[in-house]
Structure 1
């Protein structure tokens, strides 16, 4: 499991370790990792030493010192290096080391206008094949100040013009990304790889900031930290968590999922939910829906059973037409029954909009952590608005959720009492207790019709399987167990999508470059679910 921490937590632990080591030793170690990572990625791209020019954007303090030492190491390897000093207080010893290694030093006249300074930085960047961002580290809060804000705008504009093929390396965090909640309050630098010190920063796990870290390489400084802000499951974790049937298990003890999906307007929506649940290991999947839809679904997935029966998880919502009163009534009644009896409940798609109706009939007026809400940003915005968030501003917009999904996802979890799975390129799992999970890895092709229905089916299956185990042992699923189970379902969905798109399950190998894979449809994802689970079990 990968953990991420708030900046303050890392800095406090780092200060203690720094005090116990010879002066400058940890900075040199960090700089060495920056240098090694830069060389690794350049070699993977086939870049030649004599044809590669490296620009270091150097600020003050330790971040600038890391950059200067890294440039000195790269210069000793034969690379042409320029240190553009954008601070009136560069790290003295690191600067001396860079000068000794024959790094070209250019001190910027900071008395000039921000625009002039930014244009100078852009000219130097245009002439380089590598940009090392050593401007500002985690010791700064808020937005970048001038002239650095203007430098960030100008260099980002240059990169986005796509006229250059450049490797962007950030030290610790990309400059300008200072928040712990993933927001982007102002101009910032993006990176292709971030070499982070001591511990992963929470912003590297949280969108939209997480989209701009690139690959993250951790420099282990031996920090001792507790209470991570965020966690991310990997294959070994999923393999250890995934319920595996034993010799005495049968279809009822392996977990039964009951799916209430589809309506006269969207009769076949339940297909993807049923198949997702079945292929994820549920002992049985029951489908409750229109007769013609049931016939079509059973024709496609004959392993399913039509009709209501005993189950360990109820999945409701996909394809429910709000104008279909009989289906809405059925969804609300079944959801209320599950929530009242403590059976795990997954509210997906149309059922999220029915939350006010459902909650009004539940004693106490709250869900528990055993209920899982699975909104995308638009559905989350509607639910937040229905709950009164946004005050007199007319509610919460989708753009607001996308700008700060961690905060809004946690708000939903706290307000509803449920476990919230907020979907996106980085999917967040929040609950009222414990760390938030952040899962990623799915190819961009995953955003296709029916993909969310497959994910809902996987969530339903893993919840049913864990609930079946809990019933056998006589205990209830804890908030941390539910969050981890939901995170494992998200991991399986992402890896199944990767496999379907022709991509490896996981890779941090720069020699592979950027592999986009191929277009997929939801059924492709569903068919690869068993392979994704098998891979996780092999790694455990």
Structure 2
């Protein structure tokens, strides 16, 4: 069974778990303890974040107005206890109760601290709640926690619709109304500026589209992480984790031992795809790139990267399909590469042929040596080629569902490109990386990403970690290149090497040397 290369919960790898796993861990933690132990820890941290947000937005805490939207579960309890702490800082607190009951000790504590309690289930209470929202400086979403399913309804939906745009929103654990595990959204939900999450990450905080409703994530360890015994739902490599895994040449390495990548890319219509893919690979540190494609495209490639070697020869991994269109020679080269059993990054023009072959059982390489890199539209075309009618919008609405389905269907690793990129293998947890600016969505960006992934697979990394690392470095390089503004794919390639250098500074004293090809990098 696949295992993460870094210890879950270490500085190098963040983990998200299912709601069921989290609830079980909390129950085990509370055995023999006071039932409010975790609540009070969480409330203190939540109040601290609210104080920081108020200072940032208003410049002061005293005299601020905070509205708590309080549901019937633990998130509502956290909000109430945090509200009482805010009252002691001179904050006016209106606790709006949106259900038929609330955490009674929290209700009593808010009342004793001088806070206002509003029952929004009554007509008069709803009017008071709307008035409080209209003058709030900060709103705390404690409506529904990790047991919620589907969008908000009734009073909760009405109040969320009435939340003004100006004040900041701090969500407790997750934005109410999103699916806690899948990250799907089916109806009314909260859009937070900050989400304070406790103990571990929830799947929805790493998976689109829900992660876009969460805003900035503030993680608080309240003391139950050591009771999590279930496999993670999703993993995310941190910069430190990428630094630990990045292949660094030893003094005895040479250009062949650093990895030889064959690239079948580009066409007369899309010559730039080959240029960008090769640039991505070279600037990510591959030893040699051998280019296979039309002479005119090869001239473009050599002009941009004169170190490229044109023509077929022995390689250690392949990058296939970027910009390929109606070229019999390249199609034969792709077929040969897919039949070789060597690691392959499969992009654009090679996606459908690879998917058909593997779905039909033609699998000379295991799933950890094949990385497909579609965006949502290309994924929809792959599904169509396999006989499934799946719209692009459906994939964008349910990316976790579709990337795992496609990975199982073709028995390969699938990198589904997007603002949040998911990397799935049939036998392991999904990796989620979200490191790039919004400017990254530009022509040629995917070709650069494929080049980085190809360099890593030529250096010996498996498809899962090569995909996650490439997605992260690609995003970080785009952020460095853009400096907050637009960045083209070509400009992004210039920042790859400096980005890797920045990452490698995070591992001072680390043992140098190329990642072993005989096993998964970092496997224990």
* TM-score strictly above 0.5: yes
**Pairing partner for 1:408 from 402, 406, 426:** 402
Name the CA distance, whole Å, in 1 between partners of 2:353 and 2:134: 53
Shift of 1:87: 2.3
Aligned to 2:264: 260
**Structure 2 partner of 1:225:** 228
1:350-499 alignment, distance < 5 Å: 350-355=349-354, 359=358, 363=362, 368-389=367-388, 395-466=389-460, 481-499=462-480
SS at match of 2:40: helix
RMSD: 2.0
Q: Distance in 2 between matches of 1:443 and 1:449?
A: 15
The alignment partner of 2:368 has SS state of coil
State the distance in 1 between where 2:72 and 2:356 align: 56
- 1:15 is aligned to 27
Whether the aligned pair in 2 keeps the contact of 1:195 and 1:218 (CA below 8 Å) is yes
Q: CA deviation at 1:369?
A: 2.8
Which residue of structure 2 aligns with residue 91 of structure 1? Answer: 103
**1:385, distance to aligned residue in structure 2 (A):** 1.7
Q: In 1, Cα distance between the equivalents of 2:488 and 2:270? A: 18
Task: Specify whether residues 301 and 88 from structure 1 end up closer, same or farther in structure 2 by C-alpha distance, changes over 3 A only.
Answer: same
Give a deviation string over 1:76-128, Cα, whole Å, max 9, x none. Answer: 011121111222312111111111111122222x254xxx9766544322211
Structure 1, unaligned runs of 5 or more: 390-394, 468-480, 503-516
Partner of 1:34: 46
Aligned counterpart for 1:290 among listed residues 278, 290, 294: 294
Match of 2:505 in 1: 538
- Please give the alpha-carbon distance, in whole angstroms, between the structure 2 residues aligned to 1:316 and 1:28: 54
Matches of 1:420 and 1:317, distance apart in 2: 15
Distance 2:62 2:271 in 1: 63
Number of residue pairs matched?
A: 492
Identify the match of residue 245 of structure 1 among 216, 225, 249: 249
Q: 1:302 matched to which residue of 2?
A: 306
Q: How many angstroms apart in 2 are the aligned matches of 1:356 and 1:428?
A: 18
Distance 1:138 1:272, change over 3 A: same
Cα-to-partner distance string for 1:250-274 (whole Å, 9 max, x where unaligned): 1111001111111122223211000
TM-score normalised according to structure 1 size:
0.87
Task: Please tell me whether the aligned partners of residues 289 and 309 of structure 2 are also in contact (alpha carbons under 8 angstroms).
Answer: yes
Q: Distance in 2 between matches of 1:97 and 1:413?
A: 50
- Counterpart in the other structure of 1:344: 343
Secondary structure of the 1:147 match is helix
Query: What is residue 128 of structure 1 aligned with on the other side?
Result: 136
- Paired with 1:331 and 1:406, the residues of 2 have a C-alpha distance of 32
Structure 1 window deviating more from structure 2 (255-264 vs 404-413): it is 255-264
Residue aligning to 1:514? none
**1:306 Cα deviation after fit:** 1.1
Q: Please state whether the residue corresponding to 1:333 is helix, strand or coil.
A: helix
- Asked if structure 2 preserves the Cα contact closer than 8 Å seen for 1:177 and 1:203, the reply is yes
Structure 1 equivalent of residue 93 of structure 2: 81
